[in-house]
Amino acid sequence: MADQAQGERRVAFVTGASRGIGKVCAVELAAAGFDVAVSARTQREGEEREHSSTVDFSDTSPLPGSLDATVAAVEAAGGRALAVPADLTDPASLDSAAEALLAEWGRVDLVVHNGRYVGPGHMDRLLDTPLELIERHLRANILGPLQLTKTFLPVMLRGGGGTFVMMTSASGYCDPPAAAGEGGWGMGYGISKAGAHRIPGFLKAEHERDGIRSFLVHPGLTTTERIEADMKEFGFEGGAPPEATARVVVWLATSKEADAYTGENIEAQFLCHERGLLPGWEGPRPNVHALRYDESGARLAALEKALAGESS
């Protein structure tokens, strides 16, 4: 990463920052010396929009949180804050958000791709899910982050480097234990997270030499406003505090030790606990869901190693 001028605050851009992990990341980054541009759809408390996870019913009741509240929390933590509302499924709004940040502060040092598609199809089976909802997953979870990355990457390169953090999910590298509604999740969520899971590795291959650091961060089950409001009925509740993931994001953004992890997947709860980043937190709990993780790469690596041994 490029050296900072003495007293100069770095600039972060965080999506999905109206509540949950995104909001806490923004506040923790402000406390760590960043000014933060926060992006999401909900600008003011009480706004209504669809957030049901299934096509079976509609839920437009307001969720707690807003960009206004996050801005106030960032400023209370000592950072400058800039609200740049955007919808990850709306390319024009993403361009406007990025342009607003660059016009205001002229730089960006860290991009946290935390936001994702919220709405029907998330917890529906394939035959029940209109393809347009799967397309929204792909637009919000893959193409939206790529659009922002293509906008901010040249700015970082001109400035000597920068960091990208992509929030991932175990659904991107494991099969659901059951169908959606029976302990699993919708295909749109899984395949979009799987696609996004590859992005930091490409950034490493193309731009690590240019000072670009890129990480995947898997929060694991985390206690957030939306988990509380929408996911209990599907068997998902509780989890780690969002501060566990936020402290990991801050560590990745500020520690030279993190350079060794660029392009890799970080299991946030485990790293947070191992490094004592959240004093007083007891650490991750055993996963009670019967997930089958994708180990095909590890199997191929073992086969190739054995083949190389046979050939030597």
Walk along the chain (312 residues) and give the pLDDT tens digit of each residue: 434 444 578 999 999 999 999 999 999 999 999 999 999 999 999 999 888 889 999 989 888 999 999 999 999 999 999 999 999 999 999 999 999 999 999 999 999 999 999 999 999 999 999 999 999 999 999 999 999 999 999 999 999 999 999 999 999 999 999 999 898 999 999 999 999 999 999 999 999 999 999 999 999 988 766 656 556 566 666 689 999 999 999 999 999 999 999 999 999 999 999 999 999 999 999 887 778 899 999 999 999 999 998 776
CA end-to-end distance (rounded Å), the chain: 41
Predicted local distance difference test score (pLDDT) of residue 291 = 85
Query: Which tokens is 152 given?
Result: 């901010």
Query: Which tokens is 101 given?
Result: 């940040």
Q: With left for phi above 0 and alpha for psi between -120 and 50, is residue 226 left, alpha or beta?
A: alpha
Cβ atoms < 10 Å from Cβ of 116? 21
Identify residue 42 by its one-letter amino acid code: T
| Domain assignment of residue 216, yes or no | yes
**Whether this model's pTM surpasses 0.75:** yes
208 contact partners, CB below 8 Å, separation of at least 6:
214, 262, 263
The four Cα atoms 279, 224, 86, 83 give a dihedral, to 10 degrees, of -50
8 Å CB contact between 18 and 66: yes
Predicted local distance difference test score (pLDDT) of residue 4 = 45
Identify the domain containing residue 44 by its residue range. Answer: 10-311
| Domain assignment of residue 92, yes or no | yes
| Domain assignment of residue 86, yes or no | yes
| Domain assignment of residue 148, yes or no | yes
CA separation, residue 71 to residues 14, 33, 44, 204 (Å): 12, 15, 11, 32
| Domain assignment of residue 123, yes or no | yes
Strands 212-218 and 265-267, bridge-based pairing: parallel
- Counting the structural domains of the chain, the total is 1
| Domain assignment of residue 151, yes or no | yes
CA angle 211, 212, 214 (to 5 degrees): 145
| Domain assignment of residue 222, yes or no | yes
CATH number of the domain at 173, please. Answer: 3.40.50.720
d(CA 261, CA 279): 23
